[in-house]
């Protein structure tokens, strides 16, 4: 069973960058994703990556600014975030599921059974 632990969150100013990391034990054959949830909002899919790390999806809201990647040898999933804005302020979660499929499923939080506890990202203006 996958075990996920996120790190790397923090407070930055508008235009800054952060790298989020997810130590993802037991996920060699799993598809992985990052989600985020701001206070009072639904959980939103940010990016997903296939088991081999070749196929990726990025949500339109962050495309060109955020990049998902994975290091299979280290069991790590990363989310590199550039040009951050206050709208990116949220709790960010790493999640795992068995199958790689279409973007509408891969960025749907209801399709993921395994979750980390999250790491907070706060962007100030």
Q: How many CB atoms are closer than 10 A to CB 72?
A: 12
Please name the residues in contact with 76: beta carbons below 8 A apart, sequence gap of 6 or more.
21, 22, 23, 24, 70
Alpha helices in 1-125 (DSSP H): 103-106
Name, in order, each residue with C-beta under 8 angstroms of 54's C-beta and a sequence gap of 6 or more: none
Model pLDDT for residues 3-44, shown as the tens digit of each residue: 999 999 999 999 999 999 999 998 888 999 999 999 999 999
Q: What is the pLDDT of residue 4?
A: 97
Q: Quote the tokens at residue 121.
A: 């990202």
* 21 contacts 9 by C-beta, under 8 angstroms: no
The tens digit of pLDDT for each residue in 99-124 reads 999 999 999 999 999 999 999 999 99
């Amino acid at each position: 069973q996958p075990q996920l632990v996120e790190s790397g969150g923090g407070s930055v100013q508008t235009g800054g960058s952060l790298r989020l990391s997810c130590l993802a034990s037991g996920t060699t054959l799993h598809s992985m994703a990052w989600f985020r949830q701001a206070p009072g909002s639904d959980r939103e899919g940010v990016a997903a990556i296939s088991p081999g790390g070749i196929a990726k999806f990025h949500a339109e809201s962050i495309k060109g600014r955020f990049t998902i990647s994975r290091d299979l040898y280290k069991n790590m999933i990363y989310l590199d975030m550039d040009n951050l804005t206050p709208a990116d302020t949220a709790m960010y979660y790493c999640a795992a599921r068995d199958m790689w499929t279409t973007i509408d499923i891969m960025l749907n939080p209801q399709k993921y059974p395994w979750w980390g506890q999250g790491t907070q990202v706060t962007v100030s203006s």
